[in-house]
């Protein structure tokens, strides 16, 4: 299998298990376009190399997506991730909000990609969770794990939002969390505060930064 071959080529600090989880999660969290069926077939192959609870969690999302027809899956995706502020997959939105700091934080993601020898994707923002997961799985597992761990609180906010919405994508985020350090009490409290108060805000002197995002999603931060 081509995906597993790529994962094996770069054995490092992260285990193959974690990298397989990250790759499967990236595929499941992608917009359900015409390639969804092929991605789900790849996920099924990856599940054969994942043990324990993570495999069961990923399989639940995959099964839910297989049961939906294409248009319904796409509409659910937009309603879940684009229409709910708490369910954004743009990780810096929760740490920097609509402030000038967000540009700097997104630059940190882009810089990590370049240091690993790849260019940031042009079709999506560098802090978009599926992008970070694929980078961690297939390019640089150590740098990818660091980015995910540093943004564990936004990931926890996302997981809670998806749980509240009873979304099948919640299982995939839960699987990703099994690959990260256990959350501290401080992390839990911070996630709860962010969920209640929202991200930082700044309206004066905000300098725009250029993003290239797919036309199926609106530009900028998600609406509430």
Q: Are 79 and 169 in contact (CB under 8 A)?
A: no
Q: Which of 192, 186, 124 is nearest to 154 (CA)?
A: 192
CA 169 from centroid of its chain's CA atoms = 11
Torsion sign over Cα 161, 122, 151, 98: negative
In the block, which residue shows the tokens 């990590």? 112
Q: Which of 93, 101, 76, 84 is nearest to 129 (CA)?
A: 93
pLDDT for residue 87? 87
Whole-structure pTM value: 0.79
Burial of 96 (0-12, 13-18, 19+ CB in 10 A): buried
pLDDT for residue 66? 95
Taking only the tens of pLDDT, the chain with its 224 residues reads 566 555 555 544 358 899 999 999 999 999 999 999 999 999 999 999 898 899 999 999 999 999 999 899 999 999 999 877 778 899 988 776 655 667 788 899 999 999 999 999 888 999 999 999 999 999 999 999 999 999 998 898 899 999 999 999 999 999 999 999 886 666 566 656 666 655 555 433 333 333 333 444 544 545 54
What is the torsion angle, in degrees rounded to the nearest 10, for the CA atoms of residue 29, residue 46, residue 127 and residue 116?
A: -160
What is the torsion angle, in degrees rounded to the nearest 10, for the CA atoms of residue 192, residue 193, residue 194 and residue 195?
A: 50
Question: Which domains are assigned to the chain?
Answer: 1-197 (1.10.3480)
Query: What does the radius of gyration of the chain's CA atoms come to, in whole angstroms?
Result: 17
Q: Which of 92, 66, 81 is nearest to 167 (CA)?
A: 81
């Amino acid at each position: 299998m081509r995906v597993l071959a790529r994962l094996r080529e770069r054995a490092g600090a992260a285990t193959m298990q974690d990298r397989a989880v990250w790759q499967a999660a990236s595929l499941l969290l992608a917009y359900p376009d015409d390639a969804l069926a092929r991605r789900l077939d790849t996920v099924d192959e990856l599940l054969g190399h994942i043990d324990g609870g993570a495999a069961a969690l990923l399989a639940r999302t995959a099964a839910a997506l297989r049961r939906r027809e294409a248009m319904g899956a796409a509409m659910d995706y937009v309603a879940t991730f684009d229409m709910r502020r708490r369910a954004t997959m743009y990780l810096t939105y929760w740490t920097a909000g609509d402030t000038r700091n967000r540009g700097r934080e997104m630059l940190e993601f882009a810089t990590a990609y370049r240091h690993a020898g790849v260019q940031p994707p042009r079709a999506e923002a560098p802090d978009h969770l599926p992008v970070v997961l694929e980078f961690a799985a297939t390019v640089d597992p150590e740098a990818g794990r660091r980015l995910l761990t540093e943004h564990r609180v936004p990931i926890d906010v996302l997981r809670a939002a998806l749980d509240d919405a009873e979304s099948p994508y919640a299982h995939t985020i839960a699987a990703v969390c099994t690959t990260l350090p256990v959350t501290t009490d401080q992390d839990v409290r911070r996630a709860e505060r962010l969920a209640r108060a929202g991200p930082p805000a700044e309206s004066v002197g905000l300098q725009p930064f250029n993003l290239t995002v797919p036309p199926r999603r609106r530009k900028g931060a998600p609406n509430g």
